[in-house]
Amino acid sequence: MARKKKPKQRPQVGMLGKELTRRSRGRCELCESKADVRAYELAPFPDEPDPERTLMACARCRQWMESDTIDPVQAHFLSSAVWAEVPPVKLAAARLLIAHEDLDDPWLRDAIDAADVDPVTLEFR
């Protein structure tokens, strides 16, 4: 499915560094990896970086978000991430699952339903 090109991550997101590090404890908020964890803003970007639209993500998860692809074998952690209490984590997980949507995978469907994210607008319902 063709999707709009994603805006480039912007350096201003660094201003959220402290707050995000405290929230994530330095781990990827999607999969809990500590590998090259950095802030990742979810499009569309607000004027100023907002912790409610930003999550800490490891190299693999950032790459998945950039390319809208996941490796379904590695991606079962997303079905727990959709239950996260932090809205951007929940939203990022749901967007990845929606991008991958595959009706043969019942756990994907259940996880998307749990996140309550609209598959067209890619925002919370």
Residues in contact with Zn ion by the rule CB under 5 A:
28, 30-31, 33, 58, 61
| Rounded-to-integer distance, Cα 109 and Cα 125, Å | 16
**Beta carbon nearer to Zn ion, 30 or 117:** 30
Q: How far is the CB of 2 from Zn ion (least distance, A)?
A: 26
| CB of 46 closer than 8 Å to CB of 13 | no
Min dist. Cβ of residue 28 to Zn ion (A): 3
Q: Which lies closer to Zn ion via its Cβ, residue 30 or residue 86? A: 30
Q: How many CA atoms lie within 13 A of 106 on its CB side?
A: 0
Our CB check for Zn ion shows the closer of 48 and 74 to be 74
Q: Count the alpha carbons within 13 Å of 36 in the hemisphere toward its beta carbon.
A: 5
Residue 107 CB, nearest approach to Zn ion (Å): 18
